[in-house]
Structure 1
Amino acid sequence: MKVTEAVALPELIHDAAERGAGITVRSSTGPGREGRSEPAENCTQIDLSGIDRIININRDERVAIVEPGVTYQMLADAIEPHGLRVCHPLLPPAGKSVLASLIDREPQTIPKYHWDFTDPLLCAEVYFGTGERFRTGGAAGPGKTLEEQWSGGMFQKNPLGPAQTDLIKLVQASQGTMGIATWASVRLECKPEIRRGFVTAGSFARLAEFVSAITRRRLGDEIMLLDAAQAECLSSALNITAPALSGGEWLLAIVIGSLPFHPEESIAFQVTEATELAAAVGVELNGDETGFVRAITAAATAAGDWKRASLGEDFSQIYFLSTLNRAEQLVDVARKAWGASEPDSDICVASYVQPLNQGRTCHVEVTIQGRVSLDDGARKLAEAGAFFSRPSAATTPVAYERCPDTVRALRKVKDVLDPPHVLNPGRLFDDPRVEV
């Protein structure tokens, strides 16, 4: 069911509650990768992609307010004349909703602007399972409308509130089980005057040491670590040439940028310092001769889905949080779990490590060619220390069974925010496979 106005949601929620049915929402267009928004039995899927206004762009405050149907490309095009950019995941599909990506807490590629796991999401308007509308953070007021708040110098930038609550964290990563977001304010960043891409190859341990050194100094913009299979997948999908890697080597892709204040001097000292830090750990910082880094970071979106373009329709993926000093060990656990570590194995397992929170933690994403069962591998990863902060269908049981107190608390919160349990029922902590 396609909805073009958010004000229609309360009636749909009440109707579902009366029928004893459920509601799932979808904001992106095109095929999804995991089926999170696929309706369960006796559920109606509501399509919010038609609600697609960019409500406001404020250059001075570096903030925009977007509705669910706004894609990364739409937002990038709109803020380009203002000299702004939005932090985004690695090559999001063309139809990927900005709001859906932020609510799902997808990893951003610029760790120095990633202060908290909510970033760059700020405030949001949310409809709970009671049909009531609620605004989080600074958007809660004072001022009944956005226009009233703007006239009073408030620009929906403070995610904390009302008072000392932080309710956006209950909605974020809840996969629609706690509320339906109908707009969100997004923190933007100034667009660099100069951008230069660099690559370096080497052992994961040395590259991780280099990444730790540069993120501590807040050097670099986009920073990502790719194994050979991941680099090949990206180059195949984008029809570009990836830098050559020897056996077992990883690739570090990094962009160094400078703002429009003395840009030449800024880029020069950053490149000099990054080069010295690389040499100190035994790796060499090379220019982006093939254009690989420019291709995977310059655009806000890719034409289609790069994973489908390189691997076809049949692939499986698993992702989790870790720290840089443990990421390689967990990738090895994943490769062994799916048989890719055998000498004669032809199984393609691609790995991508994204530093987050200014380098304090990282997102690890493993993609396996073909449809495989993830259950056993997920348990092995959890035992090795992987933290599933955004559980998929395969990782939900292992993510929650170790935290029975958390499950009980979340179910109580669900009873408050969604008493009839109409919002995406049977997911996450309400999954029947999760036993307390």
Structure 2
Amino acid sequence: MQIKAKLAEIVGKEHVDTTRKALLPYAKDHSLLECNGLADAVVWPDTAEQVQKIVQLANEIKMPVIPASSRQHFHGSTLPKMGGIIVDLKRMNRILDFDVPDRLVRIEPGVTWGQLQPELMKIGHRMVMPLMPLADSSVVASLLEREVPTNPRYEYGEPMTSNEVIWGSGMRFRTGSASVPGFPDKADSKGGNPEGPGTNWYRFFQGAEGTMGVVTWSIVKFEYLPEIDKTYFITFDDIGAAVEPLYQMQRRMIGNECLLINNQVGALIFGDGSDKTYQALKRQLPPWFIVLVLSGPPRSPEAKLAYEKKALDEVCANQPGVVRVDESLAGAVGLERKLPDMLRNPWPAERTWWKHQLKGECEDLLFIAKMEQAAAFTELVTETAGAHGYDVRQMGVYLQPIEQGRACHLEYQFYYDPDDADEKAMVKALYMDAAAKLLAQGAFFSRPYGLLSPMVFEKARGYTNTITRVKEVLDPNYVMCPGNVCF
């Protein structure tokens, strides 16, 4: 029996397609990684039972399975590198249940930021999200990839608790305290403990790019909406001067949203999408600035804002590199009032995503580092980009403190025209060159996607061998996403 007929028996003939027209969109994404072929089929399951049967079938016929949940993809993780079955989870987009007292929600992988955030706001809550993600990107995929949130206060608390996963072997499995018998209907457990009875299994599929299994639902944390917010901008002439103030703010747990960006990123985020506004913002915005949002909780909000503002003044008063601490930002009138909502919502669906506004595409070079390394790493990347002919004035830089300031997520953004082959090749070359130099200087590539995977995993042979042995247990026929991570 042909693969299409077998899949149709599982999901219905209207939810499987093998035509070239249907498969072409899955053969490319927004990354620099090239895919030289097509999948054999794309299937749109509606239940975990259907996903399990698809994976079991793939084991029988020894065919790859590539799960996808967002509407757009950026890292090469969903490309059918060796053919196989694309399991598009967009129909599995149900918000299954809310646990408001414990601030937990159980969602399927097709639920997007644009879908979940409005539902939470109706009950006075919100997700803590990365920096202005696409509205149609999957919440579960974002958390599985451990994308950093703009609110460091919640970054070190595990945002994803229990999950249900179909391992590559076809076994259906639940993690944490959701693994108790009868969950969710006939059990006292609410699934809020990620470790629960036994091993912390949830780590096996985080950052694994779909190579261990398919997550069919997750229980994730959300937070209350503050009663009041106050935005501050702390400006600097160079990135190095911002490190100590950032560290002190995080050590003293000042504010909620807190991030450092350069004027290139600011001009894209704060503009209206027009080139005129972009150019004006680039001229007027300071070279570097911290965005800090002080927030008052439902109980005693004014008092909390008052003591956090006092602490902020104390931190900045003793830092010679601080140019200004202000409630407004030059060139962006009224931004201070709009910014908290901007940071707590995905990018508007009707607008071109901010990273794609300048030239159409963007490649992110991202890694973890100590904050005191930020200036040296930025100088290294700037010099490398310039040597390859990239206009460094258009290089975006985003620093997100993590682990209470002990480290940071550093991200360099290279914008390019995808229809210009020479420009695309230049960005690819500088990307690989800069990554190799950063790796040699101690940068930690915790998410080495696509082109970087061979370079990074070659440096970590012991780790690679360990996760290969884990893979052999959970996916003995290696059907899950071959070609990803180190497999």
TM-score, scaled relative to structure 2: 0.82
- Alpha carbons 1:236, 1:310 under 8 Å: kept: no
Please say which of residues 82-91 and 344-353 is displaced more in the overlay.
344-353
Q: Which secondary structure does the structure 2 equivalent of 1:339 belong to?
A: helix
Equivalent position to 1:301, from 346, 349, 357: 346
In structure 2, the residue matched to 1:76 is: 117
In structure 1, the residue matched to 2:185 is: 147
In structure 2, the residue matched to 1:414 is: 471
Q: Bigger radius of gyration, 1 or 2?
A: 2
- Alpha carbons 2:59, 2:169 under 8 Å: kept: no
- Alpha carbons 2:133, 2:347 under 8 Å: kept: yes
Looking at structure 2, the residues matched to 412 and 375 of structure 1 have their Cα atoms a distance apart, in angstroms, of 29
After superposition, residues 154-233 of structure 1 pair within 5 angstroms as 154-163=189-198, 165-202=199-236, 203-233=238-268
In structure 2, the residue matched to 1:434 is: none
Letter in 2 for 1:45: I
**Structure 2: stretches of 5+ with no match in the other structure:** 1-42, 417-423
Q: Which secondary structure does the structure 2 equivalent of 1:412 belong to?
A: helix
Equivalent position to 2:300, from 243, 259, 262: 262
Letter in 2 for 1:133: R
**By how many angstroms is 1:25 displaced?**
0.9
Looking at structure 2, the residues matched to 297 and 170 of structure 1 have their Cα atoms a distance apart, in angstroms, of 34
In structure 1, the residue matched to 2:177 is: 138
- Residues 308, 355 of structure 1: CA spacing in aligned structure 2 closer, same or farther, 3 A cutoff? closer
**Structure 1: stretches of 5+ with no match in the other structure:** 431-436
Looking at structure 1, the residues matched to 214 and 226 of structure 2 have their Cα atoms a distance apart, in angstroms, of 34
**By how many angstroms is 1:308 displaced?**
4.4
**By how many angstroms is 1:235 displaced?**
2.7
**By how many angstroms is 1:272 displaced?**
2.1
- Residues 423, 147 of structure 1: CA spacing in aligned structure 2 closer, same or farther, 3 A cutoff? same
In structure 2, the residue matched to 1:321 is: 368
Letter in 2 for 1:102: L
Residue 367 in structure 1 maps to residue 428 in structure 2: no
Letter in 2 for 1:250: W
Q: Which secondary structure does the structure 1 equivalent of 2:364 belong to?
A: strand
Looking at structure 1, the residues matched to 262 and 217 of structure 2 have their Cα atoms a distance apart, in angstroms, of 37
In structure 2, the residue matched to 1:426 is: 483
Q: Which secondary structure does the structure 2 equivalent of 1:76 belong to?
A: helix
- Residues 218, 339 of structure 1: CA spacing in aligned structure 2 closer, same or farther, 3 A cutoff? same
**By how many angstroms is 1:94 displaced?**
1.2
Looking at structure 2, the residues matched to 291 and 422 of structure 1 have their Cα atoms a distance apart, in angstroms, of 52
In structure 2, the residue matched to 1:273 is: 311
Q: Which secondary structure does the structure 1 equivalent of 2:186 belong to?
A: helix
Letter in 2 for 1:184: S
After superposition, residues 23-102 of structure 1 pair within 5 angstroms as 23-29=65-71, 31-102=72-143
Looking at structure 2, the residues matched to 307 and 84 of structure 1 have their Cα atoms a distance apart, in angstroms, of 25
Please say which of residues 414-423 and 280-289 is displaced more in the overlay.
280-289
Letter in 1 for 2:444: F
| Identity %, equivalent residues | 28
Looking at structure 1, the residues matched to 388 and 304 of structure 2 have their Cα atoms a distance apart, in angstroms, of 44
In structure 1, the residue matched to 2:455 is: 398
Looking at structure 1, the residues matched to 388 and 396 of structure 2 have their Cα atoms a distance apart, in angstroms, of 12
**By how many angstroms is 1:233 displaced?**
2.3
TM-score, scaled relative to structure 1: 0.91
- Alpha carbons 1:242, 1:292 under 8 Å: kept: no
In structure 1, the residue matched to 2:446 is: 389
Letter in 1 for 2:235: A
Q: Which secondary structure does the structure 1 equivalent of 2:51 belong to?
A: helix
Looking at structure 2, the residues matched to 346 and 140 of structure 1 have their Cα atoms a distance apart, in angstroms, of 50
